[in-house]
Structure 1
Amino acid sequence: MSSTSALRGFTTDFIHRDSPASPLYDPSITQADRTAKAIHRSMTRLSRFKSTLNHLKNHKVKKTSNTNSTILPGDGEYLIEFSIGTPPFKQVAIADTGSDVTWTQCQPCDRCYQQDQPVFNSENSSTFRTLTCGSNLCESLGYSDACSGTTGTCEYQLQYGDGSTSTGVLALDTYTLGGTSIPKLVYGCSHDSQGTFEADAAGIVGLGGGPLSLVGQLGSSIAGKFSYCLLSDHSSGESSKINFGSNAIVSGPNVVSTPMVSKSPDTFYYLTLESISVDGNTSIPFKSRKPFAAVEGNIIIDSGTTLTYIPPDMYQNLEDTMKSAIKADPVPDPEGYFSLCYNIDESFTAPTITAHFAGGADLVLPWTSTFYVYENVGCLAFSSSDSDEFNIYGNMSQMDFLIGYDLENRTVSFKPTDCSQE
């Protein structure tokens, strides 16, 4: 975008929802409860992704729907604080690598979910402009009847995989992130949002790969680059960081890269997982009961999903291998989610898991990134996707790596990093 050509690089907080720094943090619930809720969100998110993709497959030829069928769930694990408008009006929203359109609730809120933070009033912003019917940006929504016949303004209508909806006008305004002003950013000013949205979040910041996402719009002004470094421990109230442009370059020793695979929908960041190894010895190939599923782009990388989901046969092989390697007796998961758990004490050790991605990107994961620990029980933070077609590389497996997305060169790079020092 020409309006953002002066941007170079900037960084802002990437706040885990269970961090004391998050407005979603509830000090009254236990760590076990937080874990159970995170696992439930992962399971729900996987289900919603599948439901949306099935909808997309079944409606490939329908381009006139008033709902963008590639819109995906907005229930991620991280939040971004930003300001909108002139003068700047502070908001906190869910950051979602699984959706594109950024939107926030706006006054007048005809039918909005309960929002605890003040609702943005576009009439108070001198830089607010609605988009008109027929504009290229309006047409980027991908459906033909995105216009109001009475006002000539572009209207967006989003439906998420769980049935939640957000509708309103597509507009331009100034966003400010990490002290950097981004003029004329396209976003949805919502006057009607219904569903399972969080009361402490004003909407969604879309970080997907589509043209209307935040990174898609910034484009060449950030050289197509963003990165983040996820803390393995967010209980202290420290926040992870998300970087854009020159701040997002991942370089130096120990950096490995893997190709980003172009598939539909372009919202997702598809990678190719070739195999998993345990303690550098036992190799478990990406195994699917359907041969076509083991091709390029067989897994998406998603910051909004906690667990890593792999095909059923591959997961069973991993669980069996880990069980043989760990010199302890498994215990039942007190929450009933996981099938492989152990009592965690000072003597507990587990083998290292390495994820082998195409291009020679081998990611060595310490057991603290592969076991979800709550109270004195630790459970393998991988799960069966129960599908041969949709798998997710979740955020636990990404912790303590600086992960860089380069949309121009179509690569994702990884560098082992103590994210608390970033």
Structure 2
Amino acid sequence: MAATFNLSSLIWFALTLVFTFAETNNNGGRFTADLVHRDSPLSPFYDPLESHFDRLHNAFRRSISRMNYLKTIFSPSSSGPAKLLQAPLVPTGGEYLMNISIGTPPVVLIGIADTGSDLTWIQCKPCKECYKQKPPLFDPKKSSTYKILTCESRYCSALDDGKRCESHMNLCGYSYSYGDNSFTEGSLAVENLAMGDSTSGSPVTLPNIVFGCGHDNGGTFDENGSGIIGLGGGSLSLISQLSSSIKGKFTYCLAPISSSATSKIKFGAPSFNGSSPGLISTPLIDKAPATYYYVTLEAISVGNKKLPYTNSLKTDYDFVEVEEGNMIVDSGTTLTFIESQFYDKLATVLEKEIGSQRVSDPKGVFGACFRVKSKNEDHLPVITVHFSGNADLKLQPLNAFIRVEEDLVCFTMVPSDSIAIFGNLAQMNFLVGFDLEGKTVSFMPNDCSKQ
């Protein structure tokens, strides 16, 4: 049974807004918005009949589904650009929601915020085919600020083979497909997009944001959401479009799953500087596709035992050097995925460090689980992730282990035969700051439930 949800609660939930952004904003283009985990009681996806463990396992399944799709993007046998015609996102894979309104007058919507996607899109009237959604559909004919882009616009050109132009009208269309045969097609347009500033209490409007107005959409999309908010690194993403105002910087702080607090995303200068205690920074690596945020994983330590990381996408596993950009930082993936052969070595060291024999995960998701009598995880070892640039990130037990049954704790890193992913469990209770101009991503310990 789905959680009950109506328009009045949606309007309260979304903090509707009318304000002017960027140059006229007293914060100089900085603002902070809420990120609501899809399993939070504040989320329209929340089902009160599910147990805590049910929600966890659903998140793990979404994580596996997302990784399976990413394999089609990063597989060595992939044919390159042809694969990039598909949107780099599993439709139900995003874990965080953002509250927005769009148009003039504004229509209140909820979108999945995703660092693994570029194009922001929503469902629009008239619908050739639309999946059922609870929020109202956006009707561009009723907005005074809606405008379809021409085929010659630079944003239309950025669609590459996803571009669909009607030559007789010279209007830009788009077509995206997903790994599970879901799809969205429609017009590439500009519109005012707005969201609440949870720090100042003043809502902000982002004028002339490029987005997809989807008139033909179908597949596995959930009826509680209205589309996708693209926070990736590509030229069509919201981050790239705001780059001149936010100086290519955004920061988020993900509250632990056990917390009832909302997480935060800040656009503009981060809440830390080079002298902040515990701050570590690692280079962002330029790779294709540009959607993703690539870093270089050099090693992982269990306690004091350090294991150099190598990537079996190369043939000579025991002798290859670490590949630059071998991991992506992704808020939309719950678990952390690492190379399979390396994982086996890491799990063996972990078993010795904990002093308890591994047991099988009844759900078949995790490769290293342990029966524990203690109700806390204080006895579990600190896991240190060593990124390039001498960036050693110490993960606390809440980042690296999760209780999936009353007496069963599992390691939140799992094996993969594709690119590694640094998932959101590993990022919780850190300020995670991206600087796309300086080409770094930084991590600083923080209590994200108290922001």
Shorter-chain TM-score above 0.5: yes
Q: Does 1:378 align with 2:409?
A: yes
Equivalent of residue 287 in structure 2, options 250, 253, 263: 263
The C-alpha deviation readout for 1:184-239, integer Å capped at 9, x for no partner, is 00000000111111111100000000011000100121010011001113552x21
In structure 1, what is the equivalent of residue 9 of structure 2? Answer: none
In structure 2, what is the equivalent of residue 119 of structure 1? Answer: 137
Give, as a single letter, the amino acid of the residue that structure 1 aligns with 2:241. Answer: Q
For residues 262 and 115 of structure 1, the distance between their equivalents in structure 2, rounded to whole angstroms, comes to: 37
Q: Decide whether aligned partners of structure 1 residues 206 and 144 sit closer, same or farther in structure 2, where only a CA change above 3 A counts.
A: closer
Trace 1:79-118 onto structure 2 (pairs within 5 A). 79-118=97-136
Q: Decide whether aligned partners of structure 1 residues 324 and 247 sit closer, same or farther in structure 2, where only a CA change above 3 A counts.
A: closer
Please state how far the C-alpha of 1:140 moved relative to its aligned partner.
1.5
For residues 174 and 77 of structure 2, the distance between their equivalents in structure 1, rounded to whole angstroms, comes to: 18
CA contact (8 A) 2:108 2:135 kept: no
Trace 1:3-42 onto structure 2 (pairs within 5 A). 4-6=22-24, 7-42=28-63
Q: Does 1:68 align with 2:68?
A: no
The C-alpha deviation readout for 1:35-79, integer Å capped at 9, x for no partner, is 21111111110010111334994143x6xx9x8346433421111
For residues 225 and 74 of structure 2, the distance between their equivalents in structure 1, rounded to whole angstroms, comes to: 26
CA RMSD of aligned residues (A): 2.1
Q: Does 1:410 align with 2:439?
A: yes
CA contact (8 A) 2:330 2:423 kept: yes
For residues 401 and 297 of structure 1, the distance between their equivalents in structure 2, rounded to whole angstroms, comes to: 21
In structure 2, what is the equivalent of residue 367 of structure 1? Answer: 397
The C-alpha deviation readout for 1:306-332, integer Å capped at 9, x for no partner, is 111111111111111111011334443
Give, as a single letter, the amino acid of the residue that structure 2 aligns with 1:171. Answer: A
SS in 2 for 1:342: strand
Please state how far the C-alpha of 1:144 moved relative to its aligned partner.
7.9
For residues 165 and 55 of structure 1, the distance between their equivalents in structure 2, rounded to whole angstroms, comes to: 25
For residues 98 and 162 of structure 2, the distance between their equivalents in structure 1, rounded to whole angstroms, comes to: 31
In structure 2, what is the equivalent of residue 351 of structure 1? Answer: 381
Give, as a single letter, the amino acid of the residue that structure 2 aligns with 1:295. Answer: E
CA contact (8 A) 1:19 1:234 kept: no
| Identity level (%) | 44
Equivalent of residue 328 in structure 1, options 352, 356, 369: 356
Task: Please identify, of 261-270 and 321-330, the stretch whose mean Cα deviation from structure 2 is larger.
Answer: 321-330
Please state how far the C-alpha of 1:96 moved relative to its aligned partner.
0.9
For residues 43 and 405 of structure 2, the distance between their equivalents in structure 1, rounded to whole angstroms, comes to: 22
Give, as a single letter, the amino acid of the residue that structure 2 aligns with 1:212. Answer: L
In structure 2, what is the equivalent of residue 301 of structure 1? Answer: 329
In structure 1, what is the equivalent of residue 159 of structure 2? Answer: 141
For residues 55 and 113 of structure 1, the distance between their equivalents in structure 2, rounded to whole angstroms, comes to: 34
For residues 371 and 189 of structure 1, the distance between their equivalents in structure 2, rounded to whole angstroms, comes to: 41
For residues 384 and 205 of structure 1, the distance between their equivalents in structure 2, rounded to whole angstroms, comes to: 29
For residues 75 and 338 of structure 2, the distance between their equivalents in structure 1, rounded to whole angstroms, comes to: 18
Equivalent of residue 241 in structure 2, options 217, 220, 232: 217
Q: Decide whether aligned partners of structure 1 residues 256 and 55 sit closer, same or farther in structure 2, where only a CA change above 3 A counts.
A: closer
Q: Which runs of 5+ in 2 are unaligned?
A: 1-20, 197-202
For residues 340 and 40 of structure 1, the distance between their equivalents in structure 2, rounded to whole angstroms, comes to: 17
In structure 2, what is the equivalent of residue 319 of structure 1? Answer: 347
SS in 1 for 2:306: strand
CA contact (8 A) 1:99 1:267 kept: yes
Please state how far the C-alpha of 1:120 moved relative to its aligned partner.
1.1
SS in 2 for 1:339: coil
For residues 343 and 30 of structure 1, the distance between their equivalents in structure 2, rounded to whole angstroms, comes to: 20
The C-alpha deviation readout for 1:271-316, integer Å capped at 9, x for no partner, is 000000111x111111233256831100000001011111111111
The C-alpha deviation readout for 1:68-106, integer Å capped at 9, x for no partner, is 346433421111111101112111011111110000001
CA contact (8 A) 2:310 2:323 kept: no
Question: What is the number of residues matched between the two proteins?
Answer: 412
Please state how far the C-alpha of 1:132 moved relative to its aligned partner.
1.2
For residues 88 and 205 of structure 1, the distance between their equivalents in structure 2, rounded to whole angstroms, comes to: 17
Q: Decide whether aligned partners of structure 1 residues 373 and 261 sit closer, same or farther in structure 2, where only a CA change above 3 A counts.
A: same
In structure 2, what is the equivalent of residue 400 of structure 1? Answer: 429
SS in 2 for 1:405: strand
In structure 1, what is the equivalent of residue 79 of structure 2? Answer: 58
The C-alpha deviation readout for 1:353-404, integer Å capped at 9, x for no partner, is 00000011111011121112133121110100123xx110111111110000
Task: Please identify, of 126-135 and 341-350, the stretch whose mean Cα deviation from structure 2 is larger.
Answer: 341-350
CA contact (8 A) 2:127 2:216 kept: yes
TM-score, with length taken from structure 1 = 0.92
SS in 2 for 1:146: strand
Equivalent of residue 282 in structure 1, options 305, 311, 315: 305
Give, as a single letter, the amino acid of the residue that structure 1 aligns with 2:380. Answer: A
CA contact (8 A) 1:11 1:247 kept: no
Q: Decide whether aligned partners of structure 1 residues 55 and 361 sit closer, same or farther in structure 2, where only a CA change above 3 A counts.
A: closer
Give, as a single letter, the amino acid of the residue that structure 2 aligns with 1:218. Answer: L
CA contact (8 A) 1:82 1:90 kept: yes
Please state how far the C-alpha of 1:408 moved relative to its aligned partner.
0.5
Give, as a single letter, the amino acid of the residue that structure 2 aligns with 1:322. Answer: L
In structure 1, what is the equivalent of residue 67 of structure 2? Answer: 46
In structure 2, what is the equivalent of residue 206 of structure 1? Answer: 230
Give, as a single letter, the amino acid of the residue that structure 1 aligns with 2:267. Answer: F
SS in 2 for 1:120: coil
In structure 2, what is the equivalent of residue 188 of structure 1? Answer: 212
For residues 162 and 226 of structure 2, the distance between their equivalents in structure 1, rounded to whole angstroms, comes to: 27
For residues 253 and 373 of structure 1, the distance between their equivalents in structure 2, rounded to whole angstroms, comes to: 30
For residues 184 and 202 of structure 1, the distance between their equivalents in structure 2, rounded to whole angstroms, comes to: 19
